[in-house]
Structure 1
Amino acid sequence: MVETFTTGKRGSEEIEVPDEIAHVLHDLETKLEYNSYRKTKTGILHYLKFCQEKQGTFPTDGNSEMHARMVNSYFEAIRNEGYARETISGRWTWVSRLYQQLSSGLLNGYAFLEEDPFELLEERENKTKQNYLPKESRESKDKRQYYVSKDDLETLCDNITSPAFRNETLLRLMWTTGLRCSEIVHLKVDEINLEENRLEKIYVSKTDEKVSLWIPETTAWYLDQYINGGYRDAFSYAEESDYLFLTNRAEKMHRQTPNKVIKRTAEKAGMQEVIGQTQDEGNRYKITAHAFRRGHGMHLWKDGQTITTISDRLNHSSAKQTREYLPISVEDSQEKLESVSF
């Protein structure tokens, strides 16, 4: 049994999808934000098309080793074809998400693999995403993995754009929690526990779970002033909306708005820089929501917190993902080790 899916928005190519993969795509559609699902679907369908052209079909038997070989062939192929690092990295995330679903037999009735091919690749071939990414210069890597330090945050807040108090509260909350844009814009007022300095049971779409996060006293003060000091009430939809951050035109901030606020603020502070192009040929900027999220993680790491603790804080699926995400240099590690007595 097969189902037909299209690869994109316009000029889309139709691909016949086996029932098992169709189940995965339908499940992910219910769990992911629209843009995340669209990118995930495109990446999975691109991989499926490669398998169909190479094998004639996408095998739906339980041979995990064969799927590991197909994964290896696919990522070697797109690397050799000159795909950008960001594209390969995204495809790695999306295809690995496919196989997580297809190898989770206890959770998914349509799963047919006993082992995750990505785990097999790492365990038996010692291959991870880094093996398939093209080389890049140290300067390019530093710009791509730039993180907002505490001093950077204060400089940005000194150059905040209007509406000033809402935007400063937004940026300080992002930096001191490491929350993603999609999590920030979905925060509701009743999820803010100012008595215990906590965000209560907020939904994390990446891991499909609800978590609670501690927030520092300084951030709690900004939230208290924003919620109870009249700043939030000044917005047109304040009485109608349950959401923490809103605008005069909508009861909930759009998921792209935090990045737009960051971009405008960084430009005003003279800190912004174009560092490349996105997959849809837009500009990639140095200071983004990801730079805030990395800044939170690096601040914790430099303060002595373990990778495991930081991984939990960032709601990553594993400590390994956190190690790849944070730009920890040899110099950073040396600085921490120099304080150790041997």
Structure 2
Amino acid sequence: MEKVIENFIAYMREAKKASQNTEISYERDLKKLARYLRKQKIMDFSEVTKTDLQGYLKELQKENLALSTISRNIASIRALYHYMIRTGKMQEDPSETLKPPKLEKKMPEILSVEEVDRLLKQPNLNTPKGIRDNAMMELMYATGMRVSELIHLQITDINLQMGYVICHDSEKERIIPIGNVSRNAILQYMEHSRGFFVKNKKESSLFTNCSGKSMSRQGFWKVLKGYAVDAGIHRDITPHTLRHSFAVHMLQNGADVKSVQEMLGHSDISSTQIYLGMNVARMRDVYMKAHPRH
């Protein structure tokens, strides 16, 4: 079974261009499966039945592993058997009925309106870097776009006169309106800051790093973390925290779910509805604190 795992990992690396972390996870999960199968006197992956795999799944559950770990193990097993069928080593897939456990959706971390306000006041608007950072954070909070969408914006994606931005996700484009605060922040950046960083006139990225190259995810994350510390926000916030905060604050101020779904670029409205639960939780908290007869 070791040889099969070795060949499978090589296939994932060369044909599927799997990352090193993915390779390590697959190898660890499948070696664990192999150890279990040997205890069951099964010496070849091709001898495994659906019942054998269901038994293994029960063993994983007995170990009180995290649901995400069990789900990853199932993904590793299914990938192995897809490979074995593809290469003609098996005719039927015993893993096809394995279903990952349902993962509980965690409530995303959000900032209060007051915390966002403190955060957005941190950049020094007397420096090119501060002007750039202010424009990036204001735009992200104004639109709820993903960090990957923010850093891939081109100059041509912003229409300041009409007040909107064209956002590109993996499947389609969407147009998101921007308010005057964000619009003015970008205008200041374009007039007084971008030229400080960008020396190559052919560079079309809207936001760049200090070397004039397109801003990276890590670069923006470091910018955000630094200002969060300066603002006295000690929680572990990420760029996605601004996206979550945008969604909740929009709903709290009366936006309908469908509009927020479109602005966030969610294909399924159930992804947006999680924010409604947070809105209700906040309203209950406000009620309990403020109503005289709670």
Instruction: Flag whether TM exceeds 0.5 (same fold).
Output: yes
- 1:44–1:98: 8 Å Cα contact kept in structure 2? yes
**Where does structure 2 lack aligned partners over 5 or more consecutive residues?**
288-294
Count of matched residue pairs? 272
Name the structure 1 match of 2:35.
Answer: 53
Secondary structure of 1:212's aligned partner: strand
Give me the whole-angstrom Cα distance separating, in 1, the residues matched to 2:263 and 2:24.
29
In structure 2, the partner of 1:16 is: 6
Say if 2:26 and 2:76, in contact at 8 Å, map to a contact too: yes
Query: Which of 115, 121, 131 is residue 158 of structure 1 equivalent to?
Result: 121
SS at 1:130's partner residue?
coil
1:114-263 aligned at under 5 Å gives the runs 120=99, 127-130=101-104, 145-160=108-123, 163-200=129-166, 202-204=168-170, 209-218=171-180, 219-227=182-190, 229-237=191-199, 239-263=201-225
Query: Structure 1 residues 294 and 165, CA, compared in 2 at 3 Å: closer, same or farther?
Result: same
Choose between structure 1 and 2: higher helix proportion.
2
CA contact (8 A) 1:160 1:265 kept: yes
In structure 2, relative to structure 1, the CA distance for the partners of 1:114 and 1:3 (3 Å cut) is closer
Equivalent residue letter for 2:174: S
Match of 2:251 in 1: 301
Aligned alpha-carbon RMSD (Å): 4.7
SS in 1 for 2:109: coil
Deviations for 1:3-50, whole angstroms, at most 9, x for unmatched residues? 99xxxxxxxxxx52538x946995575xxxxxxx55555444444443
How far the C-alpha of 1:172 sits from its partner, in A, is 1.2
Task: Check whether the contact 1:175–1:293 (CA below 8 A) recurs between aligned residues.
Answer: yes
Q: Deviations over 1:125-160 (max 9, x none)?
A: xx51139xxxxxxxxx88xx4312333222112122
- The aligned counterpart of 1:11 is none
Higher strand share: 1
Q: Aligned-pair distance for 1:186?
A: 2.1
CA deviation string 1:157-180 (max 9, x = no partner): 212256111001111122222233
Does the CA-based 8 Å contact 1:64-1:115 persist in structure 2? yes
Counterpart CA distance in 1 for 2:176 and 2:204 is: 21
Secondary structure of the residue aligned to 2:217 is coil
Q: Give me the whole-angstrom Cα distance separating, in 1, the residues matched to 2:143 and 2:78.
A: 27
Match of 2:229 in 1: 267
**Offset, 1:232:** 0.9
Whether contact under 8 Å (1:193, 1:199) holds in the other structure is yes
Contact persistence 1:65–1:117 (CA under 8 A): no
Q: Map Cα deviations across residues 202-254 of structure 1 (whole Å, 9 max, x no partner).
A: 143xxxx2332413223233223323x23211114452422111123241112
CA separation in 2, counterparts of 1:170 and 1:43?
A: 35
Partner secondary structure for residue 247 of structure 1: coil
CA 1:304–1:223 in structure 2 vs 1: closer, same or farther (change >3 Å)?
same
Equivalent residues in 2 for 1:100-115 (5 A)? none
Separation (CA, whole Å) in 2 of partners of 1:176 and 1:292: 9
Question: What CA distance in whole angstroms lies between the structure 2 residues aligned with 1:116 and 1:333?
Answer: 44
Aligned counterparts of 1:333 and 1:64: Cα–Cα separation in 2: 48
SS at match of 1:129: coil
Q: Distance in 1 between matches of 2:122 and 2:284?
A: 34
Aligned to 1:277: none
Q: TM-score, normalised by structure 1?
A: 0.59
Normalising by structure 2, report the TM-score: 0.67
| 1:298 aligned partner, one-letter code | V
| Match of residue 264 from structure 2 | 314
Task: Please tell me the residue identity of whatever aligns with 2:250.
Answer: L
In 2, Cα distance between equivalents of 1:324 and 1:74: 29
Question: What per-residue deviation string (whole Å, max 9, x for no partner) do you get for residues 237-279 of structure 1?
Answer: 4524221111232411122111111111111122224xxxxxx
Percent of matched pairs sharing the same residue: 20
Distance 1:55 1:170, change over 3 A: farther
8 Å Cα contact 1:64/1:117 also seen in 2: yes
Amino acid of the residue matched to residue 291 of structure 1?
Answer: T
